[in-house]
Every structure is written in C-alpha cells, then in structure tokens.
Structure 1
Amino acid sequence: MRNNQKVIYNAGSMFTEAQWDARKNEGAALKAMFPDFWIGNPVDFDTNQTERPTNKAIFEMDFDGLTDADYVILEIDGWDSGTHMEFGLVVQQAIANKKKYLFPIISDFRFKQGILHGEIPGLGINEMITGAFYYDALNQGEVPQLIVCDSHKSAREAIKAIETGDTKNYRERFDIKDLYAQDSIYHGFKK
C-alpha cells in the first residue's frame, strides 16, 4: 500500500517506441479503471522522463514498487531480462504475502493457436519462469495468486473481478495456464 491506496505495478519492456507506447497506453487504462489506486508504471516515473537514472536507482525504484504492490502485471513473453528478474522477485514476495497477486501476460497469439498433440510449443519462455506458474503455493483455489493472462486488458479485468468479488468461474475466465491440458487445443494432425 502506498499513501493508503492499493497499488498496481506494471512491469514490462520500454526500450522501443512500440514498447514505450504500450506501457503508456496500459498505464492510462489502469488509471481509468482504478482511479483510487496508486499505479506504478515505470515508464511514467520522473526519472524516465528527464534523464537516465543510475542502475542502482532503477533497481531501487522497481524493487520498492514491486514490494508495495498488491497486484503486479508483467509482460512475461517479452525478452527483457529486467522484467524476468522482477518476476522472480515478486514470486518470492507473493509466496511470503498471500495478499499479493501476480498477472504474467503471455500475449503471443501462438500460445492459443493450437499445436500438434505431443509437441512442445516454440514460444521461447524459459521453463524456470513457466514452472513458477504451477508452483503449488501460488496456484491454489478458485482465485490463485498467480494468474496467467492473455492480454493486459484481461489482467485489468481479472484485478477488477478480485476487487469487486466477481470471482465465479475465475480460472476459466482469466487464467490460461492450463490451456494445454485441454484436448481442444490440439489440431489433431498426424505427426
């Protein structure tokens, strides 16, 4: 909590024009949906608007934002090692804090496109990361602490559902981590 407000932290790459624009748009959407929350959106931090912060300052600001957050949204299917480090940090924090929720996003359309039965999808996300999706301490109940979403919009709606108590069929509505357990994902093509 920051300034007696709930906190949503938005983690993701912000090194290209497209990434910068995506983080700005996501921050605006979060502020519109959660006007009473403190939105930690690093692309909006003063240090990222005027001059480049030191590496130490980047770590400290991000770590403090992650630590204060009730909800953390992470662009996990990007190639940013900083976001992956943030994921590792907040997994540990969530294990110790049952009131912290994590929303890694896998927006790569191939994830839901369907694959050949028995084949490993070529999405390139390290198994150390995806293994955390299924860690028992964070994957319990109808509303687990770690919810894998297919878009930032879905993550926002998942947070809103928790906040409003609209949690009926929560996993089916928001969490895509068990997608490959469903037979319907497979094309049925012969090997």
Structure 2
Amino acid sequence: MKKIYNAGSMFNEAQINQRKIEGVNLRKELKGFDIANPIDFDSNLGLGVCPTPKVIWEADYEQLQKAEYVIFELDSLDHGMISEFGIAVEMAKSSHPNKYLIVVISDFRYYQKGSTTQISEFAINHFVFGQLFDQQLNDENRIIQVASHNEAIQAIKNRELYLENRDDKYLKLNQDLDKKYLYETGKMFG
C-alpha cells in the first residue's frame, strides 16, 4: 500500500483543525493509501501532550522515509516542516526514485503577482524555495507546487492515473496545476 505523509504546522488551533480536516479529506479522496498525518499520531493527541524532540524526529523521519507522496504546507514557514522538505528533496534525488513531492502554498498574497500599489507581503527563503526548481526532480515530474490541499489530492490522483495508464495527459494535468512558474515562467527563480 502506498503511503502519503502530510507535513504541516500544528501549533495553534487553526493549524491543528486544518491538519485534521486534511486527514479526513485525504482518507475520503484517496482510498487504498496509508495516510500518515502527524496530527493523528499517538504522540500528538490531546491538549497538553508534548512529545520529546527525539520522539518527534523518529516518528516523522520514519514516515517521511516510507512515503511515496509527501505534501508540504510551505507557506507556514515552520522550521520542522522546512527541514522535512529538504530531507525529502534529498531522498527523492538520491535513494527514493518514486518519491513525489507536493508543495502547498495557499497564502493568497503569493498569487497577487505584485501590485503596483503595494509591496508584496509574502516571501519564502530563496534557498528553501529554490528546491522547487531542482532540475532532476522537474525533469522527472516529481515535484509540484499547488495552491491548496485539494489541488494536492488532485495531483496525487493524476500521478496515479499516469502510473497506471502511462498516458501523458495526466502529466499535462499536473503541469497545469503547477504554480511554481507563476512569475515570468520561473525565470526569476532559475
């Protein structure tokens, strides 16, 4: 059974509720997948539960290693999730040739493409963001940036249909979902 790992912040009420909703949606839309949603891990259940750094590291790293699909909520700028993103990029490039990475940036300010009346309020560190443009992962169609968790689910469905049928129309559907080239077809990031 293929595994999906859902990486995102879960430190305040809104984030906790969002991760729970994502888990429900993943299980509803992607039946037959093993969903690893850290908010549902035994170590993260209940108010006042605070697992040790070692417990968090071991649990998350194990799930990250096993996952074929990894979803990252990059716009939260959470240090742990950004670390997971870097580790997953390296895994995908070196030892996990089937790992597919999906970055979610849902902050609407990213998609405003620079207003003439105000300075952009949203930024991601260029070293972190630059990983989205890794040549190997892009050549192999194994990294994508989407605007919502629902689009992440659709990207997984499209990839599964591509793997099942080898029909390039499913690759094209994911290329159409991909938002990393929003600005000048990515020239400013290349």
TM-score range, shorter chain: 0.7 to 0.9
Aligned: 1:32 with 2:53: no
Q: More deviation in 168-177 or 14-23?
A: 168-177
Q: More deviation in 157-166 or 33-42?
A: 157-166
Distance of 1:24 and 1:111 partners within structure 2: 24
Distance of 2:87 and 2:161 partners within structure 1: 27
Q: More deviation in 56-65 or 160-169?
A: 160-169
**Superposition pairs for residues 1-191 of structure 1, below 5 Å?**
5-50=1-46, 51-96=49-94, 97-115=96-114, 121-140=120-139, 144-165=141-162, 167-181=170-184
Q: What SS does the aligned partner of 1:139 have?
A: helix
Shift of 1:47: 1.1
Distance of 2:175 and 2:70 partners within structure 1: 20
Shift of 1:121: 4.4
Q: More deviation in 48-57 or 31-40?
A: 48-57
Distance of 1:35 and 1:169 partners within structure 2: 24
Shift of 1:84: 0.5
More helix by share: 2
Q: What SS does the aligned partner of 2:71 have?
A: strand
Q: Please give the per-residue CA displacement for 1:51-95, whole angstroms capped at 9, x wherever unaligned.
A: 322110100000001000000000001121011111111010110
Alignment: residue pair count: 176
TM-score, scaled relative to structure 2: 0.86
Shift of 1:123: 1.7
Q: RMSD of aligned C-alpha atoms?
A: 2.0
One-letter amino acid of the counterpart of residue 174, structure 1: L
Shift of 1:32: 0.5
Describe the shift of the 1:36–1:110 C-alpha distance in structure 2 as closer, same or farther (beyond 3 A).
same
One-letter amino acid of the counterpart of residue 7, structure 1: K
Shift of 1:170: 2.8
Distance of 2:51 and 2:85 partners within structure 1: 21
5+ residue gaps, structure 1, are 183-191
Q: What SS does the aligned partner of 1:148 have?
A: strand
Q: What SS does the aligned partner of 1:77 have?
A: helix
Q: What SS does the aligned partner of 2:72 have?
A: strand
Work out whether residues 9 and 73 of structure 1, in 8 Å CA contact, stay in contact via their aligned partners in 2: yes
